[in-house]
Amino acid sequence: TERDVYLPNGTWYDWHTNEKFESTGVWIPNVPEYRHGIFRLPFYAREGALIPLMNVDDNTMNALGKRRDGSVRSELIVRAFAFDMPGTSREHSFTLYEDDGTTRAYQQGAVRETMITQTRDNQDTVTVAVAASVGTYEGAPDTRNTVIELVINNPVEHVTVNGEMLQQF
Task: List the strands of the sheet with 76-81, edge to edge.
Answer: 50-53, 76-81, 146-151
Residue 164: phi and psi, rounded to 5, are -100, 130
Q: What CA dihedral angle connects 123, 78, 34 and 5, to 10 degrees? A: -60
Per-residue pLDDT tens, the chain, 169 aa: give them. Answer: 899 999 999 999 999 999 999 999 999 999 999 988 999 999 999 999 999 998 888 888 877 778 889 888 888 999 999 987 777 788 999 999 999 888 999 999 999 999 999 999 888 888 999 999 999 999 888 888 999 999 988 778 888 888 888 887 7
Q: How far is CA 52 from the centre of its chain?
A: 4
Residue 101 confidence (pLDDT): 85
Residue 125 confidence (pLDDT): 86
Residue 115 confidence (pLDDT): 96
Residue 64 confidence (pLDDT): 72
| Coil, strand or helix at 156 | coil
Residue 132 confidence (pLDDT): 93
CB 137 within 8 A of CB 99: yes
Q: From residue 56, how far is each of 1, 30, 63, 66, 144 by CA, in Å?
A: 26, 30, 9, 10, 16
Q: Could you tell me which residues come within 8 angstroms of residue 168 by beta carbon, excluding any fewer than 6 positions away?
A: 158, 159
Q: From residue 24, how far is each of 6, 21, 48 by CA, in Å?
A: 10, 10, 17
pTM of the model: 0.84
